[in-house]
């Protein structure tokens, strides 16, 4: 009779990490490399937030409704922001994926 005697020890790399808002740098490292999108209203960095990573309520600038926790969506910021990429990142918005794709370019 084979015995699987592997100790199921998983290293929890998240232990000790603060559960709430990390700084922008940490945030960026965690979120990884965004996709670039060039549009008539500017150059945008677009990141997909998975359902698992969506943990807060945001207001979608497209439809002004809330993006609920547990709903996969997009976080978007401006690469060519007036005050630089860092400012753009601070002003990032959470969009419903659908609202972003169908947005009008007039919102800013
Ligand atoms: Zn929306």
DSSP 19: S
The answer to whether the beta carbons of residues 89 and 28 sit under 8 Å apart is yes
The Å distance, Cα 103 to ligand 1 centre, comes to 9
Banded pLDDT at 18 (limits 50, 70, 90): very low
Spell out the residues 6+ positions from residue 19 whose beta carbon is closer than 8 angstroms to its own: none
Q: Which tens digits make up the pLDDT trace of 82-93? A: 888 888 888 999
The Å distance, Cα 98 to ligand 1 centre, comes to 7
The Å distance, Cα 7 to ligand 1 centre, comes to 46
Average pLDDT over residues 31-58: 89
The Å distance, Cα 106 to ligand 1 centre, comes to 15
The Å distance, Cα 96 to ligand 1 centre, comes to 4
Measured between alpha carbons, how far is 77 from 99 in angstroms, rounded to an integer?
A: 15
The Å distance, Cα 65 to ligand 1 centre, comes to 6
The Å distance, Cα 68 to ligand 1 centre, comes to 10
Q: Which tens digits make up the pLDDT trace of 37-46? A: 998 888 999 9
């Amino acid at each position: 009779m084979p015995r699987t005697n592997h100790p199921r020890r998983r290293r929890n790399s998240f232990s000790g990490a603060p559960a709430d808002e990390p700084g922008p740098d940490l945030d960026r490292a965690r979120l990884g490399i965004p996709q670039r999108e060039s549009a008539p209203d500017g150059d945008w960095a677009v990141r997909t937030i998975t359902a698992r990573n969506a943990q807060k309520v945001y207001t979608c600038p497209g439809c002004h409704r809330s993006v609920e926790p547990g709903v996969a969506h997009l976080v978007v910021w401006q690469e060519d922001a007036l005050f630089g990429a860092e400012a753009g990142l601070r002003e990032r918005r959470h969009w419903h994926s659908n609202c972003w794709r169908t947005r009008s370019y007039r919102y800013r």
